[in-house]
Amino acid sequence: MEQFAQQFVNGVVLGAMYGLIALGYTMVYGIIQLWNFAHGEIFMVGAFGGLAVWTALPESLAENAFLALPLIFTAAVFTATFTAVLVERVAYRPLRSSPRITALITAIGVSIVLQESVRLFYPDGKRPQSFPGLVAEGNFSIGDVRIPWVSLFIVIVAFFAMLLLQAFVHATKTGKAMRAVSQDPDTARLMGIDVNRIIMVTFAVGAILAALAGVLQGMKFRQIDFHMGFLAGLKAFTAAVLGGIGNITGAVLGGLLLGITEVMATQYIPQGSAWKDVWAFIVLIVVLVFRPTGLLGEDVSVRA
């Protein structure tokens, strides 16, 4: 039983990170129906941006978590947002009226370019880079379940980020405009909404969340590499589909479910760890077969 509870906690932590990334997928998909394949790379670029700033900090500052953490997060968010907005402007915007397959292939190209840029141009980027832990090492216990402080930190940050996102989407004028554009871009334009700006904002918001997830992932595993966005991105997209693509609550729920499933399957199925990365896809296929709309999604059948 303790083992189950322990694994459950691990699953929630993993799921919180998947959820953060999945939000970016789901929002972009909701607005321009594009599977932004490069979003996983935005997550990776964010983590590297944070690490770059931390490396550049003087030692006295770098050791102080209260000063260093905000700096790392700011740098990560800034790098990721800049990259995402640039990508949107340069690669996706010219393709607004192209067939979807064109946009998706472009997104794959962007993903490769970002990965390779980090691999080639980040100092020693070919090898995994160690990432500072910063939050106090050690655990606290609830009964027999031990929870590392980092994990608690991750869940708290993810929770507040998601709360802020809800507030942003529902209580601000820009959020309202986002919802309008997602319903009908042409009419939104007629109502005086700058559709291009809203799309850019959507990419930026997704990038901010991905950057947070990137830094959190680095803090948890103490290591980042240029390849980490690929699998994380795929799983997060799976989480978004699982929750119902285009649905914000669904993305978070899907992320949590996927994280818990992955951890549990790895623990309780014999030889589970060798198949660690398979469960997400199996979940995906099962969901698509039995409930293609995802858990909270609307109708997603083919539409002209």
Partner 1 sequence: MTPVPPSASHLTSRHKTNWSEMWRSVLRLSGRWRFVLGIAGALFVWTAAFSPWASFAFGYPGKMTLSGFPGGARVYLLPLLLLVSLLFFTLPVGATAGVRAALGLLFIAGYNFIAISWEGDGVDAVAWGAWIALLGSLLLLWAFASFLWEEADGRSLSGQTAGHTAVKLPDPIWQMLLVFGGVPALLICFVYALDVEESSRFVSLICCLGAGSAALSSLGFFNWTSELLARQRTFAVILLLIAALVFPFTQDGNGYWLRVLISVGVFASAAIGLNIVVGLTGLLDLGYIAFFGIGAYVSALLSDADFTTVHVRVPFLLVLLIGATVAGLVGIFVGAPTLRLRGDYLAIVTLGFGEIFRITMNNWNGLTRGPNGIAGISDLEIPSLFGSTPLNFGDAHEVFGVSLPNFANYYFLCIFLFIGMAILFSRLGNSRIGRAWMAIREDEIAASSMGVNPVRFKLLSFALGASMAGAAGTVSAHVTQQVSPDSFTFMESILLLAAVVLGGMGTIPGALLGAGVFYLLPEKLRAFQDVRMLMFGAALIIMMRYRPEGLIPNRRRKAEFREEKSRFSAGFLKGTGELDLMQQNPVQEGGT
Restricting to residues 172-201, which ones interact with partner 1 according to CB under 8 A?
Answer: 175, 178-179, 181-188
The three-class DSSP label of residue 98 is: coil
When asked if residue 94 is in the footprint of partner 1 (CB under 8 A), the reply is yes
CA distance 214 to 50: 9
Query: Which residues is 130 bridged to in the sheet?
Result: 223
**Which region among 53-61, 77-85, 129-137, 292-300 touches partner 1 (by CB under 8 A)?**
292-300
The three-class DSSP label of residue 147 is: strand
C-beta of residue 216 within 8 angstroms of C-beta of residue 206: no
- Dihedral (Cα; 80, 280, 263, 111), 10-degree rounding: -20
The 3-class SS string of 220-251 reads: HHCEECCCHHHHHHHHHHHHHHHHCCCCHHHH
Minimum Å gap between C-beta 141 and partner 1 is 35
When asked if residue 278 is in the footprint of partner 1 (CB under 8 A), the reply is yes
Nearer to partner 1, 104 or 264 (CB): 104
When asked if residue 89 is in the footprint of partner 1 (CB under 8 A), the reply is no
When asked if residue 36 is in the footprint of partner 1 (CB under 8 A), the reply is no
CA distance 208 to 116: 22
Nearer to partner 1, 52 or 195 (CB): 195
CA distance 243 to 73: 27
**Which region among 76-84, 128-136, 212-220, 286-294 touches partner 1 (by CB under 8 A)?**
286-294
**Which region among 15-23, 56-64, 105-113, 148-156 touches partner 1 (by CB under 8 A)?**
105-113
Task: Round the CA-based radius of gyration of the chain to a whole number and report it.
Answer: 19
Q: For residue 91, what is the DSSP state?
A: I
When asked if residue 1 is in the footprint of partner 1 (CB under 8 A), the reply is no
When asked if residue 18 is in the footprint of partner 1 (CB under 8 A), the reply is no
Binding partner 1 (rule: CB under 8 A), the pick from 17, 20, 31, 265 is: 31
Minimum Å gap between C-beta 101 and partner 1 is 5
Binding partner 1 (rule: CB under 8 A), the pick from 1, 142, 171, 289 is: 289
Question: How many residues make contact with partner 1 (CB under 8 A)?
Answer: 79
Q: Interface mask (CB under 8 A) for partner 1, residues 227-256, using x and -?
A: ---x---x--xx--x--xxxxx-x------
- Dihedral (Cα; 6, 11, 16, 22), 10-degree rounding: 180
Binding partner 1 (rule: CB under 8 A), the pick from 7, 117, 174, 267 is: 117
CA distance 108 to 104: 6
Minimum Å gap between C-beta 123 and partner 1 is 15
